[in-house]
Amino acid sequence: MSSVPPRNPTYKRLMQRWLMIIKRLISGELEHLLTVNQSRRPWHMPMVAAIAISFPIFIGAYFNSISSGIKASLGAMVILNLPFTGSLPQRLVTVMAWGFAMSLCFALGLIAQQVAVIKVPVFALIAFAIVVLGRYYSQPPPAGLFVMMSTAIALFIPVSLSQILSATGLVMLGSGFSLIMALLYSLFLLATRPRTALPRDSYQPETLSESIMVAGFVSLALSIALLLQMSYPYWAAVSCFIIIQGIHLRTMWVKQFHRLLGTLIGMGLAAWMLSWQLSSWQVATAIFIMMLGIESLVDRHYGLAVIFITPLTIFIAEYGSGLPLSKQIYQQVIQARMLDTALGCLVGISGGLATQSSLLRLPLGRLERRLLQRFGTDPKD
């Protein structure tokens, strides 16, 4: 009768160690993905932002021109760039600067739309400028996200050459309204909260090289979407920008997972809401509620915020175009948006891996230092 040889105790201990490592890794990642952080912003900021952004849409609904109201609400999104530190002039100048950038980038997007061959180059230059400004002035999220989104949307919404001035004027009006809201809210904050100094703006190392990499991969996502003739290529670029903005690889992985999961749920929510065939007033109310949810959740849990970001962007893009939304059209919108998001996330995570590689960072870093020396600029200034 043959006996079964005893199992090697070294092998058994090794397997137990690996199982413990895998279990700890899975547990740690799940905890990181499911953690809801504490908000660092004033509790009333989401309400102020939702009012500022949705108010132009209510005005558009009143005049039976919801597409005009949504264009103005794009400009009003600069209220999200209001800093909570610094003096009153510093806060207002920040909002004013982003308002100017929003109007200029939207106008350039509409102009580039008229000549298909310059769409990607113009978008790449705008993306580079947005990233540079955001990093130089140490802007927290969303930084230039909505400026980037408005540029991408402007490249594809149906606006004729004769309508460029009026469409840009609506964005400027929305920015002006946000500036007034920023003034009133800043006065309230300065009167009720201790004043803190605004950090000194300074050039951070690798700002130019990192901006080149981010703008390059975001433009690559847009180019691939155009080559594949996707219906809504702008969302691939926006998704890529959101993902690649992560500083660490873990941050990008978490953002990608949050975005994909949140987008799946958000797609279902958007399809359900679009099936209601909302009136203009109902669209304005829905955008107010979604904006309130986004600003309440974005710094607590990114994935929960994306559940509302997805239908919000669909509402802005589709109702802002002024085209009617039938049942067949909104189903196509949902399907196409999912493909655009998947492409953007794929390019974004690939770009994130590339930006961490010394093969790309070192030559761009050397080029940046040469440029700064060439123009006599001290990187510390």
124-165: pLDDT as tens digits: 999 999 988 887 777 776 678 888 888 988 988 888 888 899
Single pTM value for the model: 0.81
177-232: pLDDT as tens digits: 999 999 999 999 888 877 666 666 555 667 777 788 888 899 999 999 999 888 77
- At residue 248 the predicted structure's pLDDT band, cuts being 50, 70 and 90, is very low
Structure tokens of 11?
């092998």
d(CA 326, CA 317): 15
What per-residue confidence (pLDDT) applies to 330?
66
pLDDT at 17 over 60: yes
| DSSP for 51-80, written as a single string | HHHHHHHHHHHHTT-HHHHHHHHHHHGGGG
